Amino acid sequence: MTTTQARTEPDDAPGTDPHAGTPGAHGSGHGPHGYSAQKDAHLKRLRRIEGQIRGLQRMVDEDVYCIDVLTQVSASTKALQSFALSLLEEHLRHCVAAAAEQGGVELDAKVAEASAAIGRLLRS
């Protein structure tokens, strides 16, 4: 199964990056949102999930038995949830903790926001 993912194109149009002006700021791994430190790990995970989705296309294309396709869907969903969880953990560690230092309204807003995100994950 080739999940090659060759990428010859220039990376993701930095010109359209809202954070542009500091393109070098990524990669260095100290982004503004906590998760940048582990950016490479996140991207690697997501590329693997992309490979799984491509694998699903091949399976459907080749008339693989539905139950086997479903097993692979479960694996992909699990991988996505696991990615979400690691993102969330970083968010709690950095953003929510930072808000806690400010306390009050700021903290309440961050916690409500994180809880809403967890609620969406639970329902998906």
What are the C-alpha distances in Å from 42 to residues 11, 48, 68, 111?
16, 10, 27, 23
**Identity of residue 66:** C
Query: In the numeric block, which tokens belong to residue 23?
Result: 């393109």
Residue 40 CA to residue 48 CA, distance in Å, equals: 12
Number of residues in contact with a copy of itself, rule: CB under 8 A? 85
15 belongs to the binding site for a copy of itself (CB under 8 A): no
Task: Report in angstroms how near the CB of residue 38 gets to a copy of itself at its nearest.
Answer: 9
**Contacts to a copy of itself from residues 43-102, by CB under 8 A:** 43, 46-47, 49-50, 53-54, 56-58, 60-67, 69-71, 73-78, 80-81, 83-85, 87-93, 95-98, 100-101
What are the C-alpha distances in Å from 87 to residues 75, 77, 114?
18, 15, 11
Task: Report in angstroms how near the CB of residue 90 gets to a copy of itself at its nearest.
Answer: 7
Determine if residue 87 is left, alpha or beta; phi over 0 gives left, psi from -120 to 50 gives alpha, anything else beta.
alpha
Task: Report in angstroms how near the CB of residue 66 gets to a copy of itself at its nearest.
Answer: 4
4 belongs to the binding site for a copy of itself (CB under 8 A): no
Query: In the numeric block, which tokens belong to residue 72?
Result: 């692979």
37 belongs to the binding site for a copy of itself (CB under 8 A): no
Task: Report in angstroms how near the CB of residue 5 gets to a copy of itself at its nearest.
Answer: 9
109 belongs to the binding site for a copy of itself (CB under 8 A): no
